[in-house]
Structure 1
């Protein structure tokens, strides 16, 4: 494989990245009665397991192996994981221009059960990210965070953050079991508010609520192949979120509302389009609500999907006609491309037409998030 610095640089925008907030962001900025409910972890003396406390609940989980622990150590992380200024230097080296930035602490949001603490914690995160990320550079597009426990709280915070300059809102693929699921009518005011504010709904895979009562938190499968099975399992809930918004009529009622499912690949969209259209057609007598457009038309026009390594994602555009395909680096996560972004991009796009490459690496992102500038500016510098 060619070295990254020996290649002609392919510039890209990224539809998936993450920022590591200060570990004590919530604890330091919430009243003590709420701060004691936010997530914290206590490691066992031998470093094998830890106990995680969140909102009056607790569970134990096994810590990563030695190799993963080394990656998670501060000295081994990408320099810009916690610092937006250093992050821009990382992006320039990697050939990434604009990027959508998901939270890290916020990935816990679907496991809270107290509306007040979730509402106030996410408000702290949203205010913090304006200074720490948004104001550093227009290239960085942070996602706002809203409570999924109460729709009124979600609407209020979406409208507040839209006024503050946010253009996307992060949502877990599945709300907490105490809340209504995405296909329920109770979420209608939120969909309407998001459409009116031109806010992209950014779902990220792997954000289902944690089963606190499980003895195997984060583990669905055990035995041979378990690691691969569990990693693959995280992708499916993103597909289900898209299905719920299509089948319930939410996207049909709000044709200007756009959703992104990040880090879940792209070929699932054409598959679901066929499967849902077949179900709608063959079982029309039982279908409620009736849609003005076919599931395929809705999925192809309003649902966007990001991937990092999947060669099949390119074929979703070239062979299946699905154009809302967006590349993403998943910076700075282990599954991401940091350190080998150019090898990844060349492997995906060498031999692919310029139009297809530009659509996936640059234009799809700009369709959702105009105003971040053009990668060509950096390429010419």
Structure 2
């Protein structure tokens, strides 16, 4: 049981929440010339799926199952494998808070969360499903406009993160500027780039993000490729095993892409050239970060490829120093990270609930944080669950504090 000295803040700001794209979003908001390519919900083998370029991505409901994992097995909805998806529809199975901003606010308030940085849900899939650059640009424009409309319910508490396609750097800069001017507080870029983030073509983009003061977010599953998006559970692949199970890739490599991208940026001097640039690792957890920092430093100091006329950072700075100045980590459930938090830096860590996704801590965020924050001082907890996110994304803590007082009094 946490003591008064170690108890967490009574309310929180989430660095990772989501909204769920309604079925008609792209059909009603995309430009006429691309309407034939608009992602849509279709029945595929009896399952309502998001379909793009003729290929199915994921079932409509997958992005919105918050709370299911806390239900007893006997009453929990059966959503474990594709064979059980048959009767699921967006209308019946997507949590209303995913697409109704008033319910979004009420749900999060009930969970002790009074503000959130808001990311897409299914739109991430289109990085891997849409090959045509112009079509993807228009998909993201349609999503971005809807996200800003969603946030208009309460701009103090709902802070949208725009989606950007970096295939065309000029277009990405224009869209980032347009969305920043309309109230977006950050931009989402692919967690993995086909040509690597050390490529010269990104230099103008890094400069623009720095000048616009737009934090760049690399969210899990936002991989830019044209290989498509498949199911993420083993099902009937191993007949001698009774039932599906989580793929090894989901367990041992979900953070591989963000680590690769950060190495490309840090070791090639992106942050040396653009010291004001801030990059956020989102939903990749973070207990890997201390070892990752150690490995970058070792290779920089001792690997002959680096020391023998290799690229050098400024002065005595090491790669890990740029993590502490230019990289933030959004985590959800990572008790191991809490034990190593000082190695990354308290000011670099932000908690996020992942509402309303199946992995979300909703509606038990408070108790789950208590389990993670054992022996973490209260002031450090407040830094990670309130202050860092508020500072980065422009939440007015005084306004949120006043809002919580009003809510508690009513």
Does residue 27 of structure 2 align to residue 30 of structure 1?
Answer: no
**1:287–1:371 CA distance, 2 compared to 1 (3 A):** farther
Distance 1:116 1:256 in 2: 30
Output aligned runs, 1:207-286, within 5 Å: 207-209=222-224, 212=227, 218=232, 223=238, 226-227=245-246, 229-232=248-251, 233-283=253-303, 284-286=306-308
**1:8–1:312 CA distance, 2 compared to 1 (3 A):** closer
Matched residue, 1:101: 118
Distance 2:348 2:132 in 1: 36
Output aligned runs, 1:98-247, within 5 Å: 98-111=115-128, 112-134=130-152, 136-175=154-193, 177=194, 180-209=195-224, 212=227, 218=232, 223=238, 226-227=245-246, 229-232=248-251, 233-247=253-267
Matched residue, 2:67: none
Output aligned runs, 1:310-349, within 5 Å: 310-318=334-342, 321=345, 323-349=347-373
Q: Report how far residue 134 of structure 1 moved.
A: 4.1
TM-score under structure 2 length normalisation: 0.80
Point out where structure 1 has 5 or more consecutive residues left out of the alignment: 2-6
Give deviations 1:323-350, integer Å, cap 9, x for gaps: 4111100000000111211221222235
For the residue of structure 1 that corresponds to 2:37, the secondary structure is coil
Does residue 397 of structure 2 align to residue 377 of structure 1?
Answer: no
Distance 2:290 2:166 in 1: 28
Task: Kindly indicate whether structure 1 or structure 2 has the higher relative contact order, using CA contacts under 8 Å at least 6 residues apart.
Answer: 2
Asked if the contact 1:115–1:150 (Cα under 8 Å) also holds between the matched residues in 2, the reply is yes
Q: Report how far residue 360 of structure 1 moved.
A: 1.1
Distance 1:366 1:31 in 2: 35
Distance 1:118 1:187 in 2: 18
Q: Report how far residue 128 of structure 1 moved.
A: 2.2
Matched residue, 2:65: none
Asked if the contact 1:134–1:142 (Cα under 8 Å) also holds between the matched residues in 2, the reply is no
For the residue of structure 2 that corresponds to 1:264, the secondary structure is coil
Distance 1:40 1:73 in 2: 12
Asked if the contact 2:217–2:282 (Cα under 8 Å) also holds between the matched residues in 1, the reply is yes
For the residue of structure 1 that corresponds to 2:203, the secondary structure is helix
Distance 1:44 1:71 in 2: 12
Aligned length: 370
**1:165–1:282 CA distance, 2 compared to 1 (3 A):** same
Matched residue, 1:82: 99
Matched residue, 1:361: 385
RMSD, matched Cα: 3.1
Distance 1:52 1:126 in 2: 18
**1:213–1:90 CA distance, 2 compared to 1 (3 A):** closer
Q: Report how far residue 230 of structure 1 moved.
A: 3.3
Distance 2:206 2:8 in 1: 43
Point out where structure 2 has 5 or more consecutive residues left out of the alignment: 2-6, 63-76
**1:359–1:192 CA distance, 2 compared to 1 (3 A):** same
Give deviations 1:216-272, integer Å, cap 9, x for gaps: 554699657950523223232122222222122112211111011111112222221
Q: Report how far residue 107 of structure 1 moved.
A: 0.5
Does residue 309 of structure 2 align to residue 291 of structure 1?
Answer: no
Q: Report how far residue 282 of structure 1 moved.
A: 1.1
- Between stretches 134-143 and 153-162, larger displacement belongs to 134-143
Distance 2:59 2:380 in 1: 43
For the residue of structure 1 that corresponds to 2:192, the secondary structure is coil
Distance 2:142 2:197 in 1: 25
Distance 1:10 1:71 in 2: 37
Distance 1:130 1:60 in 2: 25
Distance 1:100 1:71 in 2: 28
Asked if the contact 2:234–2:246 (Cα under 8 Å) also holds between the matched residues in 1, the reply is no
TM-score under structure 1 length normalisation: 0.86
Q: Report how far residue 72 of structure 1 moved.
A: 7.4
Distance 2:393 2:351 in 1: 14
Asked if the contact 1:15–1:100 (Cα under 8 Å) also holds between the matched residues in 2, the reply is yes
